[in-house]
Structure 1
């Protein structure tokens, strides 16, 4: 009997050891080697705003230790304002304190996805995939947390085989499932709304995804007035001419919710730009640029931070619409002083290409446009064919308008090469954007060669293509809208009534554009339509009301309005 008892005791002890080992394995934290292999961003998180109100209020419940809840909520707030580097730093702090917190690794994966921006780099994809693998290996997590982790896993799955859009749609579908399973989880609704907007088809003019996202976000807005993600994602969901008015209240509030975020300070200008509210856009981007400069100084960036250039592009665009050339040129001259920008990415390349191009094309400085040189900070232009195409497009139009057809043909060939590169890269959206520029350039070359019917047909095609395509969030707008250029061509063909229709149609998509308003006023004047001429010229003088506006077009508009006043009309 004693021997039996010894056997039983030994068996029970063995079972205890097995259970202990199983428990250890179940709750075992990731190894230091696995964590170090992610090469997480670490460091102090800069504060470039008021101490009492920095990034907004977020509360995300997890099964992780309470001692990291403050850091986790800060990481979430940063994530919702697209402060991805800083969000990763904050999630890294959580991992350092509680390496068995599965959701902290989810946060790292989310910080390297950045929907609505450029697709993640290979380095970011590898980091995100590693973070997902660690998160999935940690057993101590809730069903809800596992679903969050498995959802982002769908984005990183086969990242080296499946294209970005396919993976973005997979993530959106996974978030839809999660949201439906946890309908009371506001964060699930937020991330599902963002996923819907990110996966939207740019050619879908019904805005199905965006409207669905907007409905989810508006339902949250009343009870979450200080949540950065709610107002931020409303702006993105309604960032189109047709829907922008719906986001105006959110746009006017976002900066106050997260004043320490340069992106939050800038983001309202997306809606201000859509609605032609130039003074508000200028204030928004001046604040954003200043915050970005503060960020670069506090983090020790050598040179400039990319978010500063993003704000500068929108700032220059707004100045040009108010006819404030001197202030726009001041920003361009400042851009010329930048020899180094970090990180080097699509936003940086876009700003370096678009800012000088906008200035020259908006002001019809054709000689200077024909010889525009690319600035050379620390980037390689061949890696950015979409942005490089903007410079070639500027040179084409400049060359055509100065009757330098040999150079125009050369630059048109370069433009087509950019298109071919994007087609080869299977980047359908950017390829389409460049194709619109190709057709526009071809139209003006045909026009200057007196092939008027062919020129007009090609210009109409370009305008229709552009109307059917939404702009990328990186840009405040095309360097010159195709339908506005169509109006210019029709005016030069002495077809003022058709030109007026083109300008009016374009102004519905590009509210309060300087050249659109002037073109509409001039076309109406030449069409013997004094009522509309007065309306558009008055709109122009109201918009370009700064004392330092020196555009010649303003003089013509004011002279016409004075004549109308004298005549009592």
Structure 2
């Protein structure tokens, strides 16, 4: 089944931080066609240390963090005093766009260079290395100031601006300064900040149009329905630059998704998943049907009216295996949560609602939350079933809110979307009881609240967008003009979404 798909062709609660484990970051290295040939960093080392450093740098720009760390450690072995090799490995523990940072791991890397901050600076071989080191030391707060993570993000950006301004020709300084800007948009996408980053990155595109960092961060800057056309140039190049980086192959689909180009999105995620599966095969592991790239692939297939059941069923089997083995984290990242995502999407689009596949306890919170919401959507009109699922959803939400600060303290967005799912569910319950006016009012309020949240990239953060659901309810009541307005609003946030397009056509009187 998997081979056929390759030949032919978010999770309600998933913040960027929670999405990280599904990006293939735990996969072994395979090839190094990741854009190394476009690395022009001026190093103070030659030979093996330089080669390993440049591989690590390219992988770092591609967000292939585990592989990048391995390459930087290889550079350290070749030259134990090369400051930039430790800088690079420390940088792999900061994931600004996923709202996560492992400060303790990064500090341990810096301590291997020298346990004392002054000793580390003494090992720098030129002023540029000192500035790079100063920036990463600021990022992780080695000065003892006690600044918070968010405060350090702004302090780090100031250091990177100085580094960039001191040599405008340094393409990596430009790229990482752009990324640092994006990293100050705490709590969701901030258009003004993202456009500021794009403005700084665009001159780099003019001089280094195949640089993976410039391309990657431009795609992130333009990753919304309004600005996505500006990202098409970067997407076209990035797909070619790093064929052995699964994240790079997937990343171009962010632009295609925002444009509603489902065939291109499908193709990109087939390629991304193929990279991961090649890596798994190299390590003697079976292909995966779960994970971030497969999730986007399923969504792209569903938007084209294609059958995604082979992937959904395959992921279900892997979820059952994960449950049998026990979760290895408190929220339940991995196969079980990935299955819950794609099974809910399939239910919304096809009516083939998932049978429960749930572990118990905190280790499967994400899957349990998604499944509870899916049961509410599947039970429309059956108020007793909805009441039970809603009570479970609210109970699980309280557990989630308690666990999240301990597991993902930098996450500022997923609780907002959890609250939106609850609000939508309360509207569904009122409508199921026949309280049309109350239900529609609640549903419209839920939709407006969703629209007020920062623009999200990727598939809708809840399985059924509330504006789409509102449009369907109004259409069923014969209120076509109001329904059409609701569907248009749904399409503003999810361009090209099949059910919204079909609803709009019906509301406007199409066949």
- Residue 504, structure 1, aligned to residue 484, structure 2: no
CA distance in 2, matches of 1:406, 1:343: 31
- Aligned with residue 359 of structure 1, among 346, 362, 365: 346
- Aligned with residue 140 of structure 1, among 104, 111, 123: 123
Matched-pair contact (CA < 8 Å) for 1:471–1:478: no
- Residue 227, structure 1, aligned to residue 211, structure 2: yes
- Aligned with residue 182 of structure 1, among 162, 167, 172: 167
- Farther off after superposition, 121-130 or 141-150: 121-130
1:331 is aligned to 311
Superposed CA deviations along residues 293-339 of structure 1, whole A, max 9, x for unmatched, are 111222x2655679x62110000000000111x2x111111212323
2:505 is aligned to 521
Superposed CA deviations along residues 48-83 of structure 1, whole A, max 9, x for unmatched, are 76xxx7655111113234552222111111111111
TM-score scaled by length of structure 2? 0.83
TM-score scaled by length of structure 1? 0.75
2:377 is aligned to 397
1:538 is aligned to none
Q: Structure 1 pair 372/519, CA: closer, same or farther in 2 (3 Å)?
A: farther
- Aligned with residue 402 of structure 2, among 417, 421, 428: 421
The Cα shift of 1:42 comes to 13
Matched-pair contact (CA < 8 Å) for 1:266–1:311: yes
CA distance in 1, matches of 2:243, 2:183: 24
CA distance in 2, matches of 1:157, 1:146: 16
Q: Structure 1 pair 419/86, CA: closer, same or farther in 2 (3 Å)?
A: closer
2:13 is aligned to none
Q: Structure 1 pair 257/282, CA: closer, same or farther in 2 (3 Å)?
A: same
- Aligned with residue 217 of structure 1, among 201, 225, 233: 201
Q: Structure 1 pair 401/44, CA: closer, same or farther in 2 (3 Å)?
A: closer
Matched-pair contact (CA < 8 Å) for 2:178–2:197: yes
Structure 1 gap segments, 5+ residues each: 1-40, 526-532, 534-559, 561-569
CA distance in 1, matches of 2:80, 2:210: 30
Q: Structure 1 pair 423/455, CA: closer, same or farther in 2 (3 Å)?
A: farther
Q: Equivalent residue of 1:428, what SS?
A: coil
Matched-pair contact (CA < 8 Å) for 2:260–2:497: yes
- Residue 322, structure 1, aligned to residue 307, structure 2: no
CA distance in 2, matches of 1:152, 1:438: 40
- Residue 62, structure 1, aligned to residue 43, structure 2: yes
The Cα shift of 1:228 comes to 0.8
The Cα shift of 1:252 comes to 1.8
- Residue 94, structure 1, aligned to residue 78, structure 2: no
Q: Structure 1 pair 474/490, CA: closer, same or farther in 2 (3 Å)?
A: closer
Alignment of 1:535-554 (within 5 A): none
Q: Equivalent residue of 1:209, what SS?
A: helix
Matched-pair contact (CA < 8 Å) for 1:168–1:198: yes
The Cα shift of 1:497 comes to 1.1
The Cα shift of 1:192 comes to 0.9
Q: Structure 1 pair 105/349, CA: closer, same or farther in 2 (3 Å)?
A: farther
Structure 2 gap segments, 5+ residues each: 1-24
- Residue 291, structure 1, aligned to residue 272, structure 2: no
2:391 is aligned to 410
Q: Structure 1 pair 247/202, CA: closer, same or farther in 2 (3 Å)?
A: farther
